[in-house]
Amino acid sequence: MTRRRKIYEGKAKILYEGPEPGTLVQHFKDDATAFNNKKHDLIEGKGVLNNRISEYVFTRLGEIGIPTHFLKRVNMREQLVKEVEIIPIEVMIRNVAAGSLAKRLGIEEGTPLPRSIIEFAYKSDELDDPLVTEEHITAFAWATPQEIDDMMAMSLRINDFLSGLFLGIGIKLIDFKIEFGRHFEGEMMRVILADEISPDSCRLWDTATNEKLDKDRFRRDLGGLMDAYQEVARRLGILMENEDQTPRTGPVLVK
Ligand code: ADP
Ligand code: AIR
Ligand code: ASP
């Protein structure tokens, strides 16, 4: 068997060269990091859950017409995606004050925002992903005004759709982070949704109890991260199979 070429290794994922030109294999690791790597741990099985949850969310988003990089899941930890040129901006969409916004503006965590707020951060580990405005993004040519418009329009649709999807399973979508990339097809280029959407990249609170079902369990040393991610997968109705893909006798739910 020939060894695959590793294109990039990040904090939570590895990108390998895909089987066809223009494709990549996105491999989900078990590493949990926060505060840009100052806190690190291995949480067995996290990569498997994020792969499945992100697959589910990207598939649903594709069905409502959001262009995404997702092609298919390859195995429990890996998915085949379209290679893109990542726009070096993290787009954050917030419905309820939490995390850095709550801290920065002195708003109590859990306070609903008057309307959904979009924020941009420049992707840079060395700089701790600093918040930037559209002015910085266009002045430094990280993205064009048209690309910013496309990202914002898609972000709001994604937020509306996912807020409803999660509400239906008793979960509040507090906030989340997404990334976009430029996909080239011949002469054509379009901005599509890339990276992942999982409990690593969202804040998800149980509607009834406000229990945190996301990476804040790790960031804030609350414990029970795997139970929380499994609960999200279970509520989404994601069936888990064995690592070797052989279905068990009948559907087996997580937990
Ligand atoms: P980080 O780089 O922040 O440590 P990850 O460990 O999640 O993050 O690494 C995944 C990397 O792959 C990210 O930098 C992300 O921007 C990039 N990426 C995600 N999807 C694609 C894609 N379809 N094509 C190219 N790069 C991608
Ligand atoms: N996020 C931002 N950078 C990395 C991630 N995962 C996500 C957080 C949270 C939202 O963006 O998981 O859902 C806002 O994060 P913060 O820390 O700015 O409040
Ligand atoms: N800053 C983000 C977090 O706190 C991402 C990271 O540091 O890995 O999770």
Please give the full DSSP string across 142-208, using - where no structure is assigned: SS-HHHHHHHHHHHHHHHHHHHHHHHTTTEEEEEEEEEEEEEEETTEEEEEEES--STTTEEEEETT
Residue 67: inside a domain: no
Residue 168 lies in a domain: yes
Q: Is residue 59 part of a domain?
A: no
Instruction: Output the six-digit token pair for 62.
Output: 């594709």
Output the pLDDT for position 39: 95
The pLDDT assigned to 179 comes to 99
Average pLDDT (130-135) is: 98
Q: The domain containing residue 121 runs over which residues?
A: 87-206
Q: What share of the chain is helix, strand, coil (3-state, %, to 5)?
A: 25, 35, 40
Residue whose CA is at the smallest distance from ligand 3 atom 7: 36
Statement: residue 82 has pLDDT above 70:
yes
Structure tokens at 79: 């998915």
58 phi and psi, to 5 degrees? -65, -35
Residues of the chain with pLDDT > 90, as a percent, come to 90
Asked if the structure places residue 60 within a domain, the reply is no
Domain count, the chain: 1
Answer yes or no: is 76 within a domain.
no
Question: Could you tell which of 30, 35, 177 is best to mutate to test the pocket of ligand 3, judged by most ligand atoms within 8 Å of the CB?
Answer: 35
Across the range 51-80, mean pLDDT stands at: 98
The pLDDT, as a whole number, for residue 37 is 81
User: Tell me, what's the pLDDT at 247?
Assistant: 41
Specify if 114 maps to a domain.
yes
When pLDDT is averaged across residues 198-218 and rounded to a whole number, the result is 98
Q: What are the tens digits of pLDDT across the range 84-110?
A: 999 999 999 999 999 999 999 999 999
Binned at pLDDT 50, 70 and 90, residue 36 comes out as confident
Taking each helix axis as running N to C, give the angle between helix 145-167 and helix 46-63, from 0 to 180 degrees, rounded to the nearest 10.
110
Distance CA 194, CA 68 (A): 6
Query: What CATH number does the domain containing 184 carry?
Result: 3.30.470.20
State residue 215 phi and psi, 5-degree precision: -65, -15
- Taking the CA of residue 69 as reference, the ligand 1 atom at the shortest distance is 23
Of 36, 92, 131, the one to substitute when testing ligand 3's pocket (max ligand atoms within 8 A of C-beta) is 36
Q: Tell me if 112 is assigned to some domain.
A: yes
**Per-residue pLDDT at 164:** 98
The amino acid at residue 118 is I
When pLDDT is averaged across residues 214-224 and rounded to a whole number, the result is: 98
Contacts of 231 by beta carbon, 8 Å cutoff, 6+ apart: 213, 255
Q: Closest ligand 2 atom to the C-alpha of 203?
A: 13
Question: Considering only CA atoms, which of 224, 71, 68, 94 is closest in space to residue 154?
Answer: 68
What's the rounded Cα separation, in Å, for the pair 195 and 7? 14
Q: Please, which residues bridge with residue 39 across strands?
A: 34
Whether residue 173 lies inside any domain: the answer is yes
Which ligand 2 atom sits nearest the alpha carbon of residue 98? Answer: 19
